[in-house]
Each structure stands twice: as structure tokens, then as C-alpha cells.
Amino acid sequence: MLHSEPPTDADPDRWTLTVDGAVADPLSVSVADLAADDAMRSSTACTGETAAAQTWQGIGVGTLVDRTVPDAAATHALVHSVDPEYACGFALDRLRAALLAVRVDDEPIPTERGGPVRLLVPDADCWERVKWVTRVDVLTDPPGEADTARDRVPADV
Ligand SMILES: Nc1nc2c(c(=O)[nH]1)N[C@H]1C(S)=C(S)[C@@H](COP(=O)(O)O)O[C@H]1N2
Ligand SMILES: [Mo]
């Protein structure tokens, strides 16, 4: 299974999360300022493994994306990580139901688990739970080969 090395400078006080692309009002928010009012129960087990579910707390992607006023033609998004070349594509409607988590079981997310901000998606494949999220790029077409997570990970499972 793939598991990128955690970044060495994952300081929540200096981490920003950007939502841009096919939107009217791109935004960049400090992760330290993100509300953690939404929650999702999820395991992060890799394919073929089992792991206990935990409670992840953060902000719904739909809430954040709506603040940017996506273009009428927006259909997809690419979720980028600080870890080089790791980006995962989603249909925008599915991504709206996902969570950008900043806490797990009432604690800040440890860096090796994807802190300061990690994506949790209902009914996800393991590689879709993107660690160290930096940017949600809203798109008007499927991301195609820009979606590197799916291609990189199964080869390593
Ligand atoms: N940025 C980034 N996110 C990632 C990965 C990665 O390599 N880089 N690996 C994925 C895979 S394949 C798995 S199984 C889970 C592992 O999450 P865990 O360490 O919390 O169990 O993270 C996912 N998210
Ligand atoms: Mo995985």
C-alpha cells in the first residue's frame, strides 16, 4: 500500500486551504480558523485491510464550495495534497457530501494521519481519503490524468 511520507512542516497555524477554479469567488482560509461543526464516522482502512471507524470533525465540502459560488458548468473537482503529485478527482455532487476534517476523536489530526486537514468521503476507496489537503480545484470537465491518486495507489496496494 502506498503511503507518502508526511510533510515535515504541517503546522496548522500556517496551513491554508484554497477553493478555486471554476468559481466566482475563490477563497483561501486558514485551517486553524475552520469550523469543526460537521462530523463523519469513517475508517481509513486500505484495500484489503480493516481498521476501526473514528469520528472525524470538520467542515462539509458543500458548505465551503457554496461560498465560492461555482460556475453553472462546474461538474468535477480535483483535491490536491501538499504531497507532490497526489491529487484525487471527484464528481462535484459526490464531493459536496464529503468532509474536510481538522479533528479526529476530539483531537487535532496527527500529521501521519493527514493533519492538519484531511478529506473523508462517504463510501470512499482508500486513496480518496486525501491527507494534507491544500486545494480544491473546481472543474468543468472530469480531471482525467490529473487524477493521480487512483493510478498511483492500487499499484502499491
Ligand atoms: N496525500 C495522500 N493521501 C493519502 C495517501 C497518500 O499517499 N498521500 N494514501 C492513501 C491511502 S492508499 C490510504 S490506505 C490512506 C491511509 O490512511 P491512514 O494512514 O490514516 O490509515 O491514506 C490515503 N490518503
Ligand atoms: Mo490504500
> Considering the domain 21-152 in this protein, what is its CATH number?
3.90.420.10
Does residue 79's CB lie within 6 angstroms of at least one atom of ligand 1? no
Atom of ligand 1 nearest to the CA of 83: 1
Please tell me the predicted confidence (pLDDT) of residue 85. Answer: 79
Q: Please answer whether residues 81 and 2 qualify as being in contact, where contact means their C-beta atoms are separated by less than 8 angstroms.
A: no
**Grid cell for residue 130:** 486525501
Please tell me the predicted confidence (pLDDT) of residue 32. Answer: 83
Domain boundaries, the chain: 21-152
Which stretches in the chain have pLDDT values below 70? 1-2, 151-157
Atom 14 in ligand 1: residue holding the nearest Cα? 46
Give the 3-state secondary structure of residue 50.
Answer: coil
Please tell me the predicted confidence (pLDDT) of residue 156. Answer: 47
Q: How far is CA 128 from CA 13, 81, 100, 153, in A?
A: 25, 11, 12, 10
How many angstroms separate the alpha carbon of residue 114 from the centre of ligand 2?
Answer: 13
Does residue 38's CB lie within 6 angstroms of at least one atom of ligand 1? no
Would you call the peptide bond into 108 cis, given omega within 30 degrees of 0 as the criterion? no
| Euclidean distance between CA atoms 55 and 12, whole angstroms | 19
Atom 10 in ligand 1: residue holding the nearest Cα? 127
Q: How far is CA 135 from CA 2, 47, 50, in A?
A: 21, 25, 29
